Amino acid sequence: MARPIERDEPARPAQAEAPPAPSADRAGKPPASGRDLRLDLFRGLALWFIFLNHIPNNVANWITNRNFGFSDATEIFVFISGYTGAMVYGRQMAADGMIVTSARILRRAWQLYIAFIFLFVIYLAEISYVVGSFSNPLYVEEMGALQFLSEPDVALVQALLLKFRPANMDVLPLYIVLLATFPPVLWALRRKPDLTLAASALMWLVATSTGWNLPAYPDDRTWFFNPFAWQLLFVFGGWCGLGGSDRLSRVVQSPAVVAACLAYLLVSLLVVISWWWPPLEGLVPPAIGDVIYPISKTDLSPLRLVHFLALAIVVVRAVPVDLPVLRSPLLAPMILCGQNSLQVFCLGVFLSFAAHFVLNEISGTLFMQVALSMVGIVLMVGLSALLSWYGRVEREIAARKHG
């Protein structure tokens, strides 16, 4: 399992020679041999949750963290992607230089773009099918909204420009933009980490207070995940991945901070439960509700951001990096998924389309919802196992050739 590289990256012989990860960890030193498996574990979990949440009307998405706190799987995914990205590419930047590493990052962004277009085609196929085969006077307005295919010249070009992003695929354009702009950010993070983080926080502040966002299609829409706001989590992840988490360890270890985090998580839990559990309905007083609602996902509301940070601190404390259970076979499937995040994410989006199709077309019973959710996760694990096996074989062959 010990592998100092991000498995997401295409296997490169140069990486095999890279030194092991510096102890970029938030709660004590990782074992000398390996990377922080918690990153993979929780990214894998986030990918499962994103898949479950993306199937509409699915009872299985009740287990996901969005029902128990302000933040959801997206925060975990973006933060860990920033963390591992900075760790892996930061090391490469030190070893191979700025230009080559930037090229690798951009190649990665290009792969994501291709994945986005691929998924968009599948999405179009499903929507075209629905529009063509389904006619119910009850849903004239909704169906009318899906008539964008009547002007393919516009819809397709807008999709290529990342302006037309169907629901469920919103994370991908965000990730593409974050990666495409990552080279200078990473450069700055390595030179002046605190200043870069401060600049990132300032940009988030400006974006949340002014609503500054990228334009989208159709009409006067904007991006669902405002990149000017969400970049903060990515940059903060990178800041932690480049050693910032070591400097935070005193904060993380402080009992007062952990107590405050737990208190915030508890309040958040109660508030979110009050949204769907009638007995708690009147929990939030209108005076407070008027201030905090609606909690913006688009602009990464401070409530969400703080919730994610509190969750991260509590998890880092509760799950130390050398916890034996991290190496148990029970958690291996989740870790595998986290190690192949791009492919697993894309497969998850595809599977959520497919599950939606089956639930509407064949049967939408509770049993089917649970069964499709489980089959989807098994397929995601299967794909990541296959990819990990393939990567290992390729590296062994490359090592033999070079050795």
Partner 1 sequence: MKNWVLSFVASALVLASGFSAQAEGTPVCAAPSELTRAGFTLPRLAKSLAAKKPTTVLVLNSSSLAKKSALKGGAEKDAPRTFPSFLEETLRTRYPDGGVVVTTHNEPRATAEAILADLPGVLAQARPALVIWQTGTYDAILGADTSAFSDAVNTGIGFIHDAGADAIVVSPQFSPRTAIAIDVAPYANALAWAARSSGIPFFDRYDIMQFWASEGIFDFDTARPSPSQFEDVHRCIGRLLVGMIVDGVDTRALGSR
* Gyration radius of the chain's alpha carbons: 22
CB of 366 to partner 1, least distance (A): 8
- Of 19, 32, 137, 403, the one binding partner 1 by CB under 8 A: 137
CB of 50 to partner 1, least distance (A): 14
Give the count of beta carbons closer than 10 Å to the beta carbon of residue 195.
11
Binding range to partner 1, per CB under 8 A, among 68-76, 88-96, 186-194, 294-302: 294-302
| Footprint on residues 58-77 left by partner 1 (CB under 8 A) | 59, 62
Query: In the structure encoding, which two tokens stand for residue 347, read together?
Result: 């497969």
**Cα 270 to the chain's mean position, in Å?**
25
Q: What is the DSSP letter of 215?
A: B
Please provide the distance, in angstroms rounded to a whole number, between the alpha carbons at the two ends of the chain. 21
Q: How far is residue 31's CA from residue 20's CA, in Å, rounded to a whole number?
A: 11
Q: What is the DSSP letter of 146?
A: T
Pick 89 or 148: Cβ nearer partner 1:
148
- Of 20, 22, 302, 364, the one binding partner 1 by CB under 8 A: 364
Choose among 294, 348, 355: nearest CA to 57.
355
- Of 230, 353, 381, 383, the one binding partner 1 by CB under 8 A: 353
- Of 14, 33, 57, 114, the one binding partner 1 by CB under 8 A: 57
337 class by beta-carbon count within 10 Å (0-12 exposed, 13-18 middle, 19+ buried): buried
Does the footprint of partner 1 cover residue 360 (CB under 8 A)?
Answer: yes
Binding range to partner 1, per CB under 8 A, among 28-36, 173-181, 236-244, 287-295: 287-295
Is residue 281 classed as helix, strand or coil in its secondary structure? coil
Q: How far is residue 8's CA from residue 6's CA, in Å, rounded to a whole number?
A: 5
Number of residues that bind partner 1 (CB under 8 A): 52
Does the footprint of partner 1 cover residue 18 (CB under 8 A)?
Answer: no
| Footprint on residues 218-277 left by partner 1 (CB under 8 A) | 218-219, 221-222, 224, 275-277
Helices 332-339/341-361 angle, 10° precision: 110
Binding range to partner 1, per CB under 8 A, among 194-202, 227-235, 278-286, 380-388: 278-286
- Of 102, 168, 200, 339, the one binding partner 1 by CB under 8 A: 168
Query: In the structure encoding, which two tokens stand for residue 46, read together?
Result: 């986030």
Secondary structure (DSSP) of 333-392: HHHHHHHTHHHHHHHHHHHHHHHHHHHHHT---HHHHHHHHHHHHHHHHHHHHHHHHHHH
Does the footprint of partner 1 cover residue 101 (CB under 8 A)?
Answer: no
Binding range to partner 1, per CB under 8 A, among 180-188, 261-269, 286-294, 327-335: 286-294
- Of 139, 367, 389, 390, the one binding partner 1 by CB under 8 A: 139
Does the footprint of partner 1 cover residue 118 (CB under 8 A)?
Answer: no
Does the footprint of partner 1 cover residue 290 (CB under 8 A)?
Answer: yes
Residues lying near partner 1 in the complex (CB under 8 A): 56-57, 59, 62, 123, 126-127, 130, 133-146, 166-168, 211, 216, 218-219, 221-222, 224, 275-278, 281, 286, 289-290, 293-294, 296-298, 352-353, 356, 359-361, 364
